[in-house]
Structure 1
């Protein structure tokens, strides 16, 4: 399971040393300049610009990127057309079904695409139930690390991006496997490092097949 973080260079450095892959939004590439292999180019889904997104993917050639969210079923055709263009410049494209009409029509999205699931958070969420994704390969977008891990008992998770622990680190808290607690030593970097180590632990033994 590929674990990805999109954040500051300090966080990216710590995460990459602990086996994580690095990513960034197409709107902010500053922090990934020193990294050779970029796993993930994320989007600004609230202010999406396909031309800027495509230009970034052409330049970076990431392992994967995410297409514009399917929030309206009427946009499905155009979004799949955009995904087809994006996949010329990366290995995988993630397509995010959010329109509730897709709940029983997930197969309208070709199987060569990884399905994106927006884990419920203040930033956004996918209304379609996790069970509706069947055995399709899934990328988890954001959310708490323990919630992400629980979803992997229902969904065939192959990758996930997670930034939540960076917010808690700013308050001196770190992830211990099922919750965030104050770090005994304190310090932002200690919280980041130990959160990542504990996230790694909860994914140990997971083979990407609902377990």
Structure 2
């Protein structure tokens, strides 16, 4: 039993990732690149969190029946009730729905305020986003949302990781860099595809010794 791994990118990146045990991912705003892959029951449906549209999200969930999808980010605690209502609807069309807590007023209160039927998503800190909610607040299985693969693996020492998505290595590959298991550096042979393949292999190696928590096993 292993952590579920997703990549949301080009057909080439997804094809390579699938051959190494990953699954396809896509934002509800762009499902074009996953139309040739099996998505129902295995895919990761991400959101456009800056310009969220529940109607478009729901349409995609109804059509593609993902393994996991994100609910709208909880950037303000006063939005939580509405987000949970949306999440309940999404759960009818997805195996798991993850709540993304970001308001610091949720610190220490996730167990109290978010029903156990939902998993959580930890927004791995990057220049594009992150969360200020304490890591100790995450009381149940978690999806690691974006970020560097080494940072994701380090966070797994403090969280009950169920799944993760990672696109960072696809960006570096365009410049001839790959993830060597510790950092990004130029690939000796070069080439976009070589960078993708070796990055994925090294990310898989990072997770090889990860012991899945008992709470997570119940979700498989």
Shorter-chain TM-score: what band? over 0.9
* Runs of 4 or more above 3 Å deviation: none
- Cα deviation for residue 207 of structure 1 reads 2.3
Residue 199 of structure 2 is aligned to residue 195 of structure 1 = yes
TM-score calculated relative to the size of structure 1: 0.97
Aligned to 2:218: none
- Cα deviation for residue 209 of structure 1 reads 2.7
Instruction: Choose 121-130 or 17-26, whichever is displaced more.
Output: 121-130
Which of the numbers 2, 9, 12 marks the counterpart of 2:11?
9
- CA RMSD in angstroms comes to 1.1
- Secondary structure of 1:202 counterpart: helix
Matches of 1:208 and 1:103 in 2, distance apart? 25
- Cα deviation for residue 181 of structure 1 reads 1.0
Question: CA offsets per residue over residues 47-81 of structure 1, 9 Å max, x none?
Answer: 00000000010000111110000000000000000
- Secondary structure of 1:47 counterpart: coil
Structure 1 unmatched ranges of 5 or more: none
TM-score calculated relative to the size of structure 2: 0.93
- Note the 1:1-211 alignment, pairs <5 A: 1-37=3-39, 38-107=42-111, 108-134=113-139, 136-209=140-213
Structure 2 unmatched ranges of 5 or more: 215-220
- Secondary structure of 1:76 counterpart: helix
Q: 2:108·2:136 contact (CA, 8 Å) conserved in 1?
A: no
- Secondary structure of 1:131 counterpart: helix
